[in-house]
Structure 1
Amino acid sequence: MIVLRRAKEQDIESIQDLANRTWYVTYGDYLSVEQIDYMLDKMYNKGELLSQFKEGYIFLMAEEDGIDLGFAGFSVLDSATGTYKLHKLYVLPETHGRGVGKLLMNEVVNLVKRADGAFLQLSVNRNNKAAKFYKKAGFIVKETIDIDIGNGFLMNDYIMEKAL
């Protein structure tokens, strides 16, 4: 049985491990290994993740039989409008199709609703198959953006939003 739990700082190594095990499969068809390495180092180094915990990001872990299968991370984006942002949602490729991502997404939506959130936003690479997953979950494309993330790399994303 898959169980969700709120992550603690002690889970940072597991979050890093899951990111490393999912990103190359997720992005390998359309991003260079150099860009994936750069982004993982920038977004998943221990200092950055610790900072996110301290800033109030909520991380959820999905596990089965004591083994972490995936995670989600979200935070308030704009408290005045009740907008939250789903920053991260990754599950191990070998667990795709088992409902792990859907469980994590549904729990994020429930927690945001309980906090009186009105909208949930996310960014997803325009080539990422997950964009279909998000559309199926009720997200719509709000904007198409290209973000310079340094080192000559761009993120070609959709900003998607779901009204809650």
Structure 2
Amino acid sequence: MYFVRTAGEQDLGKVRDLLVETWHAAYDRHFGAAKVDELIELLLSPAKLRARLAKPQSEFLVADNGEDIGGMGYAVMSEQMTKTVLLHMLYVRPSLQRNGIGRDIFAELETCFPDAEVMRLDVEPENAEAISFYEAHGFAEVGRNENAGPGQSGIPALVFEKRLVSH
């Protein structure tokens, strides 16, 4: 059984391992393994993960069974959009998907931002599994971003939003 809790510095190695596995499983078929490796090094370095732990107005969660990290989520209040929380990452180890871990992490993230009225995220347009998950959890597509990665990446993403219930 996995329990959702706030991540700590001691979790970052296991979180990175989980992210490398899930990113390759989700994105290799769309971008190729070499591009995924490049994005992992750019976006998921130990230093970048450590910075996310320390970022104000953010929440970094893991699903932990005492031995393993089965999933993780990271969200932060937007600095540009009022009362909007940005869900940057929600990943579950491929072998553990469809067991409620993503649902539990997502449910906890929804409660972590009492002033937020909207949760927003980008999702890769070909990632049908993720799109289905988000739609099942109340998200709707509201737009498209042609440069979802760093700079002028050319990596497209669909933009989804969900109204959050008053707490």
Q: State TM-score, norm by structure 1.
A: 0.90
Structure 2: which 5+ runs fail to align?
A: none
Tell me how far apart the structure 2 counterparts of residues 154 and 36 of structure 1 sit (CA, whole Å): 14
Tell me how far apart the structure 2 counterparts of residues 104 and 157 of structure 1 sit (CA, whole Å): 22
Asked if 2 retains the 8 angstrom alpha-carbon contact of 1:4 and 1:60, the reply is yes
Counterpart in 1 of 2:65? Answer: 64
Compute the displacement of 1:38 (Å). Answer: 1.1
Tell me how far apart the structure 2 counterparts of residues 118 and 152 of structure 1 sit (CA, whole Å): 29
Compute the displacement of 1:13 (Å). Answer: 1.0
Counterpart in 2 of 1:162? Answer: 162
Compute the displacement of 1:47 (Å). Answer: 1.6
Asked if 2 retains the 8 angstrom alpha-carbon contact of 1:35 and 1:153, the reply is no
- What residue identity is the alignment partner of 1:4? V
Superposition misfits of 4+ residues, deviation over 3 angstroms? 148-153
Deviations 1:99-120 (A, max 9, x none): 11111111111222xx221011
Give the secondary-structure state (helix, strand or coil) at the position aligned to 1:5: strand
Percent of paired sites with the same residue: 25
Tell me the C-alpha RMSD between the 2 structures: 1.9
Counterpart in 2 of 1:133? Answer: 133
Compute the displacement of 1:162 (Å). Answer: 0.5
- What residue identity is the alignment partner of 2:107? N
Compute the displacement of 1:154 (Å). Answer: 2.6
- What residue identity is the alignment partner of 2:25? V
Quickly say closer, same or farther: Cα 1:80–1:3, change in 2 above 3 A.
same
2:8 matches 1:16: no
Structure 1: which 5+ runs fail to align?
A: none
Tell me how far apart the structure 2 counterparts of residues 152 and 43 of structure 1 sit (CA, whole Å): 15
Counterpart in 2 of 1:147? Answer: 147
Counterpart in 2 of 1:30? Answer: 30
Quickly say closer, same or farther: Cα 1:152–1:140, change in 2 above 3 A.
closer
Deviations 1:73-96 (A, max 9, x none): 011114862100111010100001
Tell me how far apart the structure 1 counterparts of residues 5 and 25 of structure 2 sit (CA, whole Å): 25
Tell me how far apart the structure 2 counterparts of residues 14 and 132 of structure 1 sit (CA, whole Å): 27
Q: State TM-score, norm by structure 2.
A: 0.89
Counterpart in 2 of 1:109? Answer: 110
Tell me how far apart the structure 1 counterparts of residues 65 and 54 of structure 2 sit (CA, whole Å): 27
